[in-house]
Structure 1
Amino acid sequence: MGQHPEALQHLLHRSERLVLVPHVRPDGDAVGSMLGLADVLEGQGKQVLRLLQGEVPPLYRFLPGSERTQTGLESLERFVTAASPGETAVVALDCGDASRLGVYAERLLGHHPLAVIDHHRSNGGFGDICWVEPDRSSTGEMVYDLISALGWPISTAAACCLYTAIITDTGSFRYETTSPHTFAVAGQLLTAGVRPEEVANRIFDTSSLGRLLLLQLALGTLRLDCGGRVASIEVSRGMYAAAGATQHDTEDFVNWPRSLASVEVCVFCREVEEEEGTVSVSLRAKGGCDVAAVAALFGGGGHRNAAGFRQRNVQLAGMRERVVGEVVGRLQQQ
């Protein structure tokens, strides 16, 4: 467990107005970290803007404070200009690269002070204060430690958000970055009032029929390569309509082929609903292949065992072949 910068503590302590922003297309860690920290900051009498590029993913709308998120550059400008220059601090959460700030990147990179809290190994560092610990289980775990260092209380609502951040980014405490400290933090969050069975039910046991039908179609595209060491699946734009689902329903699809005993790496390619010609790729591994390095070749990043990227002006089938080919080549060299 590393040490958070004192400068970050001082920034949060002295700032009365803060903008919290996670990476574009946020996952459970990004949303949970933002909402949990926002709740604690407001408990200290601070004004907080919870800024997203789009809506909160449906899977995480049960989290306290999710209904208070705002979107758009207009919301950002209105909040920032309501105070004197330099009075509003920005904190980017779970954002592994400046480009992951999406449409807000140019505006926020020019704002000071800008702090970053992240655990992606691919993070090269940006902002005025940058706290990155790649060996952490999640950004949610880091946020908990920061709040504890400040001596601020954590409400049940904030605890629920941070617990969600941790449980989603650790795959329910299954991934290699899960540490004794991760379990200790989770225990403290339960002491703060989290009901683990309720959170698990919300995340893992509330699938729609459309999601299950889409999963059925996706698994129908399953292919094994490299003697069963590499699995890949895909979802096309037509599948969303056929199943009565949306791209939000593909959350966690990549882990189904990964569960096969022989599989070391899984590749999940899907066409992006709102961007024709754009393909999103998720990669998962079991330790034998650094998928963050694979993602980096295509302009993405992430962790050794979980990474991803997007490519524009490409075909789904061609993108799948290129990524699978890259993964197979790396495994064959081992």
Structure 2
Amino acid sequence: MDHPREEIVRTLKAAKNVLVSTHIHPDGDALGSQIAMGNILRSLGKNVFLYGEEQVSHLYRFLPGSAGIESLLPALNGFDCAIALDCGDCHRLGAAMDSLLTVHPFVVVDHHVGHQEFGDLRWIAPDRASTGEMVYDLAEALGAELSYESAYCLYAAIVSDTGSFKYSSTSAETFRIAGELLRKGVKPAEVSGKLFDNFTVKRLNLMRLVLDSLQLYADDQLAIIAAPREVFLRTGTTQADAETFINYPRSLNTVKVAVFLKETEKGLVSVSLRSKGKDHDVAQIAAAFGGGGHRNAAGCKLRDTSIGEVREKLLAELLPLVTR
């Protein structure tokens, strides 16, 4: 029986008009993979439309080709294939989910452990550190020559989802692919600078307020930070500006699990969970609240609630996890 990737390769080779999408509120892996996939398909003579529900965050506009992601969905009857990258759940396709899923075949390429199966063709590889790695594999299988721009986007994708190669998902294959991308001319210091040395004064003020909310539990093994709506209004920032803040409580040497609670709109709380090692599976915790992700990085969203209520619910689940 063929590997799912091979069937996807045949499908993409046969397609002429392809819509490429990813999840809402896309991160570096999602956007880097999406842009690179579009470039790869165009290099093979395909007509490609890159769709994103919202404007690309200012944190990722440095990615070459990011301006080509369109938020106005075109008529879909002209597409003979659609592909969703880094999307573990059809609902994360956003408001256009029902429309997008009318395109057939609908291809899904993802690496999330808690993937909720959808689409016509799926390649799900939880052992891969990033979707960017998987897109690189697809490029090889398609016989496509990677451009510098595509290599840049895929390197950014991999660096983003491996935490600069420090997460446990990082493998020898991750480094092999990264090395091949560097041979295309990508400069690691440049990409890392764009990804991580990108603070504005407003964003720094936001971080100061968020870190001031730090609370520690269970002998400092569990850390929780929070960002109610008012801190974004007070600092003139957006939800995107809070990306990566979860890494700071996680960096405490005593912490096993870190949590970031964000009030994205009134009554809607976004939960980011991070853990260390193999003994603290936060994907299971996220799944209990309708979310998903990886063993060491997961998340969920809860509606009609408050940060305080979510904190109490999570504490009931997380305290036994870190103290057992």
TM (normalized to structure 2)?
0.96
Q: 2:314 matched to 1:323?
A: yes
Instruction: Tell me if structure 2 keeps the 8 A contact 1:267–1:283.
Output: yes
The alpha-carbon deviation at position 311 of structure 1 amounts to 1.1
Q: Which letter does structure 2 place at the counterpart of 1:128?
A: D
Question: How far is 1:148 from its partner?
Answer: 0.7
What residue number does 1:62 align with? 62
Q: Which residue does 1:294 correspond to in 2?
A: 285
Q: Which moved more, 1:257-266 or 1:63-72?
A: 63-72
Q: Which region of structure 1 is more displaced relative to structure 2, 120-129 or 173-182?
A: 120-129
Whether 1:100 aligns to 2:92 is yes
- How many Å apart are 1:104 and its aligned residue? 2.1
What is the DSSP-based 3-state SS (H/G/I as helix, E as strand, rest coil) of the residue aligned with 1:19? Answer: strand
Name stretches of at least 5 consecutive residues in structure 1 with no aligned partner.
Answer: none
Identical amino acids, percent of aligned pairs: 44
Aligned residue in 2 for 1:47 = 47
Q: 2:274 aligns with which of 284, 287, 299?
A: 284
Partners in 1 of 2:257 and 2:152 — Cα distance? 31
Aligned residue pairs, count: 322
What's the RMSD between the two structures over aligned residues? Answer: 1.4
Q: Distance in 2 between matches of 1:144 and 1:129?
A: 18
From 82, 85, 102, give the equivalent of 1:90. 82
1:223 to 211, 215, 219: 215
Deviates more, 1:232-241 or 1:107-116: 107-116
The Cα shift of 1:184 comes to 0.4
Match of 1:270 among 237, 262, 272: 262
Deviation at 1:330, TM superposition (A): 2.4
- Out of 305, 308, 315, the position equivalent to 2:299 is 308
Q: Tell me, yes or no, if the aligned pair for 2:281 and 2:296 is still in contact at 8 Å.
A: yes
Per-residue CA distance 1:137-164 (angstroms, 9 max, x = gap): 0000000011111111000000011111
Q: Matched residues in 2 for 1:25 and 1:241: separation?
A: 19
169-178 or 317-326: which moved more? 317-326
Task: Name the residue aligned to 1:237.
Answer: 229
Which range moved further: 122-131 or 156-165? 122-131
1-structure distance, mates of 2:45, 2:104: 22
Within-5 A mapping of 1:98-177: 98-177=90-169
Pairwise CA distance, 1:240 = 1.2
Which amino acid is the alignment partner of residue 312 of structure 1? R
For 1:318, what is the secondary structure of its paired residue? helix
Q: How far, CA to CA, are the matches of 1:193 and 1:128 in structure 2?
A: 36
Determine the C-alpha separation between the residues in 2 that align with 1:247 and 1:112: 33
Query: Partners of 1:300 and 1:124 in 2: how far apart?
Result: 10
Amino acid at match of 1:256: Y
State the shift of 1:331 in Å. Answer: 2.5
User: Relative to 1, partners in 2 of residues 1:124 and 1:279: Cα closer, same or farther, differing over 3 Å?
Assistant: closer
The CA distance in 1 between the partners of 2:87 and 2:232, in whole Å, is: 28
Give the Cα–Cα distance (whole angstroms) in 2 for the partners of residues 101 and 31 of structure 1: 13
Cα offset for 1:99? 1.4
Rounded to whole Å, the distance in 2 between the matches of 1:173 and 1:123 is 23
- Structure 2: how far apart are the matches of 1:173 and 1:116? 25
Greater CA deviation, 240-249 or 165-174? 240-249
Please, which runs of 5 or more residues in structure 2 have no aligned partner?
Answer: none
8 Å contact kept, 1:232–1:324: no
Q: Report the CA distance between 1:262 and its aligned residue.
A: 0.4
CA contact (8 A) 1:230 1:324 kept: no
| 1:103 alignment partner, SS class | coil
Deviation at 1:277, TM superposition (A): 1.2
What residue identity is the alignment partner of 2:256? E
SS in structure 2 opposite 1:120? coil
Please list every run of at least 4 consecutive aligned residues from structure 1 whose deviation after the TM superposition is greater than 6 angstroms.
Answer: none
